[in-house]
Amino acid sequence: MKFYNRTKELKKLHQIEILSKNSAKMSVIVGRRRIGKTSLIRHAYDKQIYLFVSKKSEALLCEEFITIISNELDVKIHGKFFKFAKLFEYLLELATQKHFTLVIDEFQEFLSINNTIYSDMQNLWDTYKEKAKMNLVLSGSIYSLMKKIFEDKKEPLFNRADMKIHLKAFKVSTLQTILQDNYPSFSNEDLLSLYTLTGGVAKYVELFVTFKAFTLEAQLNLIFEDNSLFLDEGKNLLIEEFGKEYTTYFSILALIASGKTARSEMENILEKDIGGYLDRLDKEYSIIKKVKPIFAKEGGRILKYEIIDNFFSFWFRFIYKNRSAVEIENYEYVKQIVKSEYSTYSGKFLEKYFIEKLKDSHQFSQIGTYWEKGNKNEIDIVAVNDINKTILIVEVKLNPKKISLEKLKDKSVKLVQKFPNYLIEFKGFSINQL
């Protein structure tokens, strides 16, 4: 699959690269695995020293890195390096004579190899920064650890980065372009299934394109097959994030994915206080987010939780929940469950899709959902333009025949009363509007 989007990120990386020709600059790129960080980095620079921090001893890493550095910079390195700090100092010294880009991928892995590396790097960086001509790019996929390394005031590399990029999934407009390029006859249903199952995560989109899985049927066949990357994906990506308590985190995420989105609901089922877990999933891991009714008061207690990543939502709803069937390779059974629940399940992603589209239009000052106490009078989308004093109130249904603007108006009575001077527009969005 060809390289798509990332125009803003490439522009930022090129700007920093130019500035690094005068004095060393540090860029940090974070984002979940499979999101396309490495592809972005490789696309951004014609020439670079790319070092991947794998889980091995520091001495073996240095031996591997020396070979790469020698080849990329065409230099002969005499002697051996057993400590990364010494090798980093050598590179900074070299950068006083010539400009180059140094990429260190999975940078957070140094924590488990030698956690003094960061303080050593900080001292060296502060010493050489003004005279070295290095474009240093540090990339990592364990969000909580990368956040700690660069945003915790107690950490040595705090406030050292000149630029940070939090790489996110492809937007819906990019998914549409990808389908137009690779499957011009795609339907609205195909676009929705691609968005629902991948959420725009680059690696998953690439796999679907590579294997020409453009319909829901083809996508499910690719997901539920022997040796499929997707089957263990949630476990592989999140166990390292969560550590020993991963079972509690997985249970919470499975409940949210199945529609138990209120803290009280989850605590009744799990029979334990999960406030701390929810806070960490939100603030530390950025896997879930709090959703409050639009216009809710600051500090209001009416809220729900939502999994941010579409694929994680799918994985916990269908793969993790049915892991016994997956373990015995009864993939047809799980596919039947997905198909039977898909129309209801994909409905919430249709809402999410339209919210993204409205955000991308840059026509509104606030966009959100609305409900009243006791989950009454739920409204799928409310979009406000405070300059023009207009409010768009939307009901979203897969089937356009199920949309009732009269019922929508009835549910909106209390909401509309709060904005007497605003022009109110009621609309119905369905699969036809994709």
**Token code pair at residue 322:** 């049915």
CATH number for the domain whose boundaries are 7-166: 3.40.50.300
Q: What is the pLDDT of residue 253?
A: 97
26, 160 Cβ separation under 8 angstroms: yes
* Of residues 47, 31, 10, 41, the one with CA closest to residue 108: 31
Contacts of 423 (CB under 8 A, 6+ apart): 388, 389, 390, 391
- Class of residue 428 by CB neighbours under 10 A (exposed 0-12, middle 13-18, buried 19+): middle
Q: What is the pLDDT of residue 300?
A: 75
Q: Which residue has the higher pLDDT, 197 or 1?
A: 197
What's the mean pLDDT when you consider all of the chain? 95
- The Cα angle at residue 190 between residues 310 and 178, in degrees rounded to 5: 80
What are the tens digits of pLDDT across the range 208-267? 999 999 999 999 999 999 999 999 999 999 998 898 889 999 999 999 999 999 999 999
Residue with tokens 């993790």: 320
Hey, where are the domains in the chain? Answer: 7-166, 233-328, 366-433
200, 172 Cβ separation under 8 angstroms: yes
Q: What is the pLDDT of residue 243?
A: 86
Q: What is the pLDDT of residue 302?
A: 86
What are the tens digits of pLDDT across the range 311-351? 999 999 999 999 999 999 999 999 999 999 999 999 999 99
CATH class held by domain 366-433: alpha beta
What are the tens digits of pLDDT across the range 159-174? 999 999 999 999 999 9
What are the tens digits of pLDDT across the range 363-374? 999 999 999 988
Pairing assessment for the beta strands 134-140 and 100-105 based on DSSP bridges: parallel
pTM across the whole model:
0.90
Residue with tokens 């520091």: 58
Residue with tokens 């939100």: 282
Q: What is the pLDDT of residue 247?
A: 94
What are the tens digits of pLDDT across the range 299-320? 778 899 999 999 999 999 999 9
**Mean pLDDT (whole number) for 398-422:** 95
4, 177 Cβ separation under 8 angstroms: yes
Q: What is the pLDDT of residue 419?
A: 93
Residue type, 153: K
CB neighbour burial string for 54-93, b if at least 16 within 10 angstroms, e if fewer = eeeebeebbeebbeebeebbeeeeeeebeebbebbbbbbe
CA distances from 182 to 171, 177, 200, 322 (A): 17, 9, 15, 32
**Mean pLDDT (whole number) for 124-147:** 94
* Of residues 340, 343, 266, 339, the one with CA closest to residue 307: 266
The answer to whether residue 402 scores a pLDDT higher than 80 is: yes
The answer to whether residue 406 scores a pLDDT higher than 80 is: yes
What are the tens digits of pLDDT across the range 151-160? 888 999 999 9
CATH number for the domain whose boundaries are 233-328: 1.10.10
Residue with tokens 């990592």: 140
**Mean pLDDT (whole number) for 86-110:** 96
Q: What is the pLDDT of residue 163?
A: 96
What are the tens digits of pLDDT across the range 68-94? 999 999 888 877 899 999 999 999 999
Pairing assessment for the beta strands 304-307 and 423-429 based on DSSP bridges: unpaired
**Token code pair at residue 63:** 């031996």
**Token code pair at residue 356:** 């993204």
Q: Which long-range contacts (CB under 8 A, 24 or more apart) does 245-251 make?
A: 245/277, 248/272, 248/274, 248/277, 249/277, 249/281, 250/316, 250/320
What are the tens digits of pLDDT across the range 43-71? 999 899 999 999 899 999 999 999 999 99
The answer to whether residue 101 scores a pLDDT higher than 90 is: yes
The terminus-to-terminus CA distance of the chain in angstroms comes to 23
The answer to whether residue 296 scores a pLDDT higher than 90 is: no
